[in-house]
Amino acid sequence: MAVPITTVTTIVEAIEGAGPDVKLFSLVDPDRWELPRFRAGAHIDLHLPGGMVRTYSLCNDPADNKCYRVAVKREPAGRGGSAKLHDQVRVGDVIGVSLPRGGLVLDAAISRFIFVAGGIGITPFLSAAALLLRTGRPDFILHLLARGEPPLPRLVAPFVQSGHVILHDTATAGRPDLAALIGLPAPKTAIGCCGPAGMIDDFERASRDWPGERVHVERLIEQVAIIQ
Amino acid sequence: MLDTIQTSSRGAVVPGWTGVVRHLHVTPRAFLPMREMPEIKLIEGTGIEGDRYMIGREQGFYSHKPEEGRQVTLFEFETLVALKRDASIELGPEEHRRNVTVEGVPLTHLVGRRFWLGETLLEATRLSIPCRHIEEITGKAIFDPLINRSGLNCKILKGGIVRTGDAVWNFQ
């Protein structure tokens, strides 16, 4: 008897290097059928060989409905998920994934967005940026804090060129003042942050005067995003 | 269209009716979106070509619970209208995850009966039951509103091509 199907079946269509210790995985249906819809920056669980399950943010435009794209930074001191993806997963491998969940609510009543990302934490905001530009809502800024070369340079470059992404090299200038980046609460403005715990703590302090419904925070724990 | 009322030989009240195929959908695997098709091919005793529940394919969410009547499933267009009218729920014909959306066909009266779907002949085996799986996929709270109107499971007695716009009518 067949066993219950509990995940979306995908195959790895492409794996590309995407900056220091980062690989970009493109997952598609075996017949290139449309995949279940997702919200900008939604999360999926990847069911890896050996029963390991890891959660990653989708970084592509939700309109790209035939592909799930996740960027994975190799964490040598992590719990093994990123190492397995980097070292063992190959193009053509089959990976079961969960239905997408969560993601950014880009409310139509909001006209301006300020995002702050730490390193690989840029992934959900790349998805949001693509959606915002495609839907004619170009009033957003994404501050990318990275030590040295930023992740996903090919995907980030067009946004740097258009002025939507501002790079902050923390190796040379230290971490910028997050309160200065997001400013004071402003009407029709929402803010978001995704990055390591220390950065999120700073962001939460800096944003405590903002209305909670206009603040989106994701905390990276070995790339396991915890939605708050 | 419910145009007359007849009494069947079994004593049950059976409306006389003719209906129409409004939408056709298939998907090859569990969880994937349903794709609208201008026509589908029904294979006798097996299922719909390319659909996840075709016998021998077994790629559906419930394929581990084999069922003859899952060869093709139908849903009432009127239910989509009622959901919007009564519960303010917009549910598209691609979201209920049945294969054939029909209008003017009293599905709940057809269990145990045979009827024509275009050039194909179906036998209804049971009413479909709403499931949380649909809520999980659509993100819409439709379990309760779909109780008793979640469609009809059928087996295929005579195969063929079904197209949107085809007529649906009683076998007898």
Interchain CB distance below 8 Å, B32 and A99: no
Are residues A121 and A196 in contact, defined by beta-carbon separation less than 8 angstroms?
A: yes
H or E element, residue A200: helix A197-206
Confidence of residue B133 (pLDDT cuts 50, 70, 90): confident
Q: What pLDDT digit, counting tens, does each position of A62-72 carry?
A: 999 999 999 99
Interchain CB distance below 8 Å, B29 and A8: yes
- Residue B106, pLDDT > 70, answer yes
Q: How large is the average pLDDT for residues B96-124?
A: 97
Query: What's the pLDDT at A60?
Result: 97
Query: What's the pLDDT at A224?
Result: 45
Confidence of residue A226 (pLDDT cuts 50, 70, 90): very low
Interchain CB distance below 8 Å, B28 and A33: yes
State the Rg of chain A over Cα.
17
Q: What pLDDT digit, counting tens, does each position of A186-206 carry?
A: 999 999 999 999 999 999 999
Q: What pLDDT digit, counting tens, does each position of A75-86 carry?
A: 888 888 899 999
Q: How large is the average pLDDT for residues A21-40?
A: 97
Query: What's the pLDDT at A138?
Result: 97
Confidence of residue B15 (pLDDT cuts 50, 70, 90): low
Written as six digits, the tokens of B4 are 């007359």
| Nearest neighbour of B64 by CB, restricted to A3, A29, A34 | A3
Q: What pLDDT digit, counting tens, does each position of B145-156 carry?
A: 999 899 999 999
- Which residues 38-57 of B have a C-beta within 8 angstroms of A? none
**Beta bridge mates, A26:** A14, A69
Size of interface A-B (CB pairs under 8 A): 47
> Chain-centre distance of CA A114, in angstroms?
15
| Chain A residues close to B136, C-beta within 8 Å | 99
Query: What's the pLDDT at A49?
Result: 85
Residue B99: which of B142, B149, B13, B35 has the closest Cα? B35
- Residue A228, pLDDT > 50, answer no
* CA distances, B170 to each of A198, B64, B145 (Å): 68, 32, 27
- Residue B80, pLDDT > 60, answer yes
Chain A: nearest CA to B166, how far in angstroms?
26
Phi, psi of B136 (to 5 degrees): -65, -40
Query: What's the pLDDT at B109?
Result: 93
Interchain CB distance below 8 Å, B136 and A99: yes
Q: What pLDDT digit, counting tens, does each position of B45-59 carry?
A: 999 999 999 998 889
| Chain B residues close to A1, C-beta within 8 Å | 64, 66
Query: What's the pLDDT at B66?
Result: 85
| Nearest neighbour of B32 by CB, restricted to A1, A4, A35 | A35
The ipTM (two decimal places) reads 0.85
Written as six digits, the tokens of B25 are 């959908």
* Optimal mutation site among A1, A3, A5, interface B, most CBs of chain B within 10 A: A5
Interchain CB distance below 8 Å, A99 and B61: no
Interchain CB distance below 8 Å, B59 and A5: yes
- Which residues 67-126 of A have a C-beta within 8 angstroms of B? 99
pTM equals 0.89
| Chain A residues close to B35, C-beta within 8 Å | 33-34
Query: What's the pLDDT at B151?
Result: 97
Written as six digits, the tokens of A21 are 């210790």
CA–CA distance, A22 with B96 (Å, rounded to integer): 39
